[in-house]
Structure 1
Amino acid sequence: MNKIEAFLKEHRITEVECMVSDLTGIARGKIAPTAKFMSEKGMRLPESILLQSVTGDYVDDDVYYDLLDPADIDMICKPDDDGIYLVPWAIEPTAQIIHDCYDKHGVPIEMSPRNLLKKVLRLYAEKGWKPLVAPEMEFYLTKRNDDPDLPLQPPIGRSGRQETGRQSFSIDAANEFDPLFEDMYDWSEAQGLDLDTLIHEEGTAQMEINFRHGDPLHLADQVLVFKRTMREAALKHDVTATFMAKPITNEPGSAMHLHQSIVDAKTGENIFSNPDGSMSELFLNHIGGLQRYIPEVLPMFAPNVNSFRRFLPDTSAPVNVEWGVENRTAGLRVPDSTPQNMRLENRLPGADANPYIAIAASLMCGYLGMVKRIAPSAPVQGRAYERRNLRLPFSLESALERMEQCRDIQEVLGEKFCRGYIAVKRAENENYKRVISSWEREFLLLTV
């Protein structure tokens, strides 16, 4: 009896949600009775879902047919033994199982976000390195809203009142939603998610959940499952949980901060620190690689038009790739820690980023810095918000242009993935530009 079969039998599972992550991070797939799932040992899905935009649209035919089979063929999706989780909110005993995507010859599909992360992790393995990551997920709780033209409002807590003002790190403000978080923690424990602390963040009804450090692929899976879990717990309590990067005007954005370190695969020693506890040359090169390549892969951290609203001035987000020790105004922060826990915190990724893609991009930038021996700039002292060197692109359009022109990135990630990802994001951007905003109606309707 294999691991999946044993799990399904132990929990008396009657239905299986077979899922893969698309480029956005949406779980797509099929729901099957357990008996059918076990007889087929996987599923087939149209490979076209990997070129599907967040609106459900696809890229232009000339791009589509150049990247995928014009016959819109199926890909073979195989379950991962380590990607099985319960669905605690389901009425019937249900499991969700993450699948990997292959073509009919058993070759991994390049456009799959999970395969992309595996590809980057293989580069580290070839060097005898093992990356560790710890994501921090920020999100907002809001009132239910069925009209997209209306601004989001804070939800009503146990006190019967809406939260007002900034309640950073307030225990009582977080406890306003204690019944919701009790369900979230119970469901997360049932799924084996490695959650650590709950924090009330700076924004109104903005929260943060931290994960314990671990294997990057496993943590990316967990973030995918956690986002589903958090949304379901919120809906049960008649509120909404959103991971948009900037859902509310004049409130801070939501990030997915990534703590990352590397250990020697054989000894388990942290290669970011020297025996005397100082930063190693490899660590400095890792930082240098992030500084050099983050501006080229920013769409993988900030994938939507809304993502760039988080980078506007005075939004509490570091719009730079400076680095510094214990400096939260820098895009790359080195927390004060013991030598074995020496790590870097990449503060650029948004909460709306696909976890597989964002983690792959962050680790890839550091990897290139290490193999190319890229030296970092001097660490920043004091506030880094006003720094203008190493400037990031200002918009999704300009960021996509920079990603398209970077040959180093395409060599590592694959030209097909880069072309497909850029094409999907451009299609989404064109779709966005067709919508007339409330700002235009408010300020232009009777004045121009």
Structure 2
Amino acid sequence: MDRLAKWLEARQITEVECVVSDITGIARGKIAPVSKFIAERGMRLPESVLLQTVTGDYVDDDVYYALLDPADIDMLCIPDPDAAHIVPWAQEATAQVIHDTYDRMGNPIALSPRNVLKKVLSLYESQGWRPLVAPEMEFYLTTRSTDPDLPLIPPVGRSGRQETGRQSFSIDAANEFDPLFEDMYDWCEAQELDLDTLIHEEGTAQMEINFRHGAPLSLADQIFLFKRTLREVALKHGVTATFMAKPITNEPGSAMHLHQSVIDISSGQSVFSQPDGSMSSLFLHHIGGLQKYMSEALPLIAPNVNSFRRFLPDTSAPVNVEWGEENRTCGLRVPNSDPQNRRVENRLPGADANPYLAIASSLLCGYVGMIEGVNPSAPIQGRAFERRNLKLPVTLETALEEMQQSRMLKQYLGESFLSGYVAVKRVENENFKQVISSWEREFLLLSV
């Protein structure tokens, strides 16, 4: 805490946003004067924050009281000095500090997404391995809309016109929003977020930001903060930024592609390559684990009803766990690289996924494959979109049923987390079912 206090003093911080990530990835917490923050050396929040749905509802009482103290007690939130960042859009000198959550006995809270990721990373460390990840975040810019029944449309750029058609990798189309992206890079640099390249993606006003490869916990923190940052930048410029998996009909969905590799801690060498530079058995087993278990963990990377719209037929997202070298039609792509940088790109996670849980689940599936020696299928040559052998659930309901039955997830993530997560997502799904869609009004109102 002394190091964090000095960090705050050096930046003349007057206010601190004390935050934790809930299951959805929403920043929950408190805003405190810096003097109170330093004096209290943490904060307390109700444990129930971690069983809150995206609509603000809670799970059914039978699950709630099975997982939480019936007295609705507080959990202790301790600031991580390595996760302190300034808030560049605030009017006063403000910092945001990500906290870890513990119970009264000092045990990590099982429902905390950040603790879930730390648990997976400890599995790798116990084997003398260190995983690295490089996320790619896709998102859309849209005009502001206060009516959720109206379709989203592209914003007006510098030219005074809305973007039309597909502008994949277009520099000029990305430059339409230069003022916004200049602020985005400035604000991210102020927070020491390790952004790399900006790309115009396939969709209309759809963009992608790549992060440099690094430690998974740090990258998950950065994505968590980046989502807040981009939304604030968009507000400043009079538009909206969304990480919904499928925000616009007939446009491509938005993914969070995860490049993942593993190095040996003692030697610093990739365990995915043999001395002669060829693929190692551990690399193949890592892919095998992703193939075997990704279906069970799917709600962690496709967490919402909308997530599965990205997997509909005739979309650009692979709905399979096939693998292939330089093959973007596979759910698991192996990019061309030198042996030290050999990696697999998991193309299945959506941009709407909680970054802590998406990274944790993807790394966990690969880890279990390495431990169990799971052999992958043969790599795919050509298109994998139409392949039926290694398909995934196509609705949230069926995915949650498979997740609930997963022995692997219960063993490694714990039954409490699994039960709580499934319960939250089922409440959200039931809420969704109660909403009458515009399609129903358009085609059924006067026809049935």
| Mapping 1:21-32, distance limit 5 Å | 21-32=21-32
Aligned to 1:104: 104
Mapped to 2, the partners of 1:132 and 1:249 lie a distance apart of 34
CA distance in 1, matches of 2:106, 2:386: 50
Q: Specify the alignment match of 2:273 in structure 1.
A: 273
Counterpart residue number, 1:128: 128
Instruction: Give a deviation string over 1:396-419, Cα, whole Å, max 9, x none.
Output: 000000001111111011000000
1:86 aligns with 2:86: yes
Per-residue CA distance 1:346-381 (angstroms, 9 max, x = gap): 000000000000000000000010000000000000
Tell me the equivalent position of 1:180.
Answer: 180
Once the two structures are TM-superposed, the CA of residue 390 in structure 1 deviates from its matched residue by: 1.3
Q: Structure 1 regions of 5+ residues with no counterpart?
A: none
1:382 maps onto 2:382 in alignment? yes
Distance in 1 between residues matched to 2:412 and 2:151, nearest whole Å = 41
Q: Distance in 1 between matches of 2:315 and 2:343?
A: 25
Shift of 1:266: 1.1
Which residue identity is paired with 1:349?
A: P
Q: Aligned pair 1:395/2:395, yes or no? A: yes
Q: How does 1:289-368 map to 2 (within 5 A)?
A: 289-368=289-368
What's 2:201 paired with? 201
Letter in 2 for 1:125: E
SS in 1 for 2:353: coil
Query: C-alpha distance in 2, partners of 1:336/1:416?
Result: 40
Q: Which amino acid aligns with 1:96?
A: Q
In structure 2, distance between residues paired with 1:259 and 1:3: 33
Q: CA RMSD in A?
A: 0.6
Moved over 6 A (4+): none
Map of 1:261 onto structure 2: 261
Match of 2:152 in 1: 152
| Letter paired with 2:133 | V
Q: Give the aligned length.
A: 448
The one-letter code sitting in structure 2 at the alignment partner of 1:239 is: V
Partner of 1:436: 436
Residue type matched to 2:10 in 1? E
1:200-247 Cα deviation digits (max 9, x unpaired)? 000000000000000000000000000000000000000000000000
Deviation at 1:7, TM superposition (A): 1.2
Taking the aligned partners of 1:371 and 1:407, their CA distance within structure 2 comes to 15
Instruction: Give CA-to-partner distance per residue, 1:284-317, whole Å, 9 cap, x none.
Output: 0000000000111100000000000000011100
SS at structure 2 position matched to 1:138? strand
SS at match of 2:261: strand
| 2:233 counterpart letter in structure 1 | A
Separation of aligned partners in 1, 2:152 and 2:276:
51
Q: Please give the secondary structure, in 1, of the residue aligned with 2:139.
A: strand
Q: Per-residue deviation at 1:2? A: 2.6
Between the aligned partners of 1:44 and 1:235, the Cα distance in structure 2 is 30
Letter in 2 for 1:104: R
Partner of 2:3: 3
Take 1:434 and 1:48, find their aligned partners in 2: how far apart are those partners? 24
Q: Equivalent residue of 1:88, what SS?
A: coil
Could you tell me how far apart the structure 1 residues matched to 2:135 and 2:151 are? Answer: 28
Task: Kindly provide the CA deviation profile for residues 411-443 of structure 1, in whole angstroms up to 9, marking residues without a partner as x.
Answer: 011000000000000000000000000011011
> Match of 1:198, as an amino acid?
L
- Secondary structure of 2:295's partner? helix
**Distance apart, 1:3 and its partner CA:** 2.2
Give the secondary structure class of the aligned counterpart of 1:136: strand
Task: Answer yes or no: is 1:59 the counterpart of 2:69.
Answer: no
In 1: Cα distance, 2:443 partner to 2:361 partner: 39
Return the letter of the residue paired with 2:173: A
Q: For 1:295, what is the secondary structure of its paired residue? A: coil
- How far, CA to CA, are the matches of 2:323 and 2:439 in structure 1? 36
How far off is 1:276 after superposition?
1.1
The share of aligned pairs that are identical, in percent, is 75
Question: Which whole-Å deviations, capped at 9, do the CAs of 1:98-125 have from their partners, x for residues lacking one?
Answer: 0000001110000000000000000000
**CA–CA separation in structure 2 for the residues paired with 1:56 and 1:310:** 25
Aligned to 2:35: 35
Kindly provide the amino acid, as one letter, of the partner of residue 180 in structure 2: L
Note the C-alpha offset of 1:65: 0.3
Tell me how far apart the structure 1 counterparts of residues 318 and 7 of structure 2 sit (CA, whole Å): 43
Per-residue CA deviation, residues 131-165 of structure 1 (Å, 9 max, x unaligned), is 00010000000000000000001000000000000
Structure 2, unpaired ranges of 5+: none
Note the C-alpha offset of 1:277: 1.0
TM-score (norm 2): 1.00
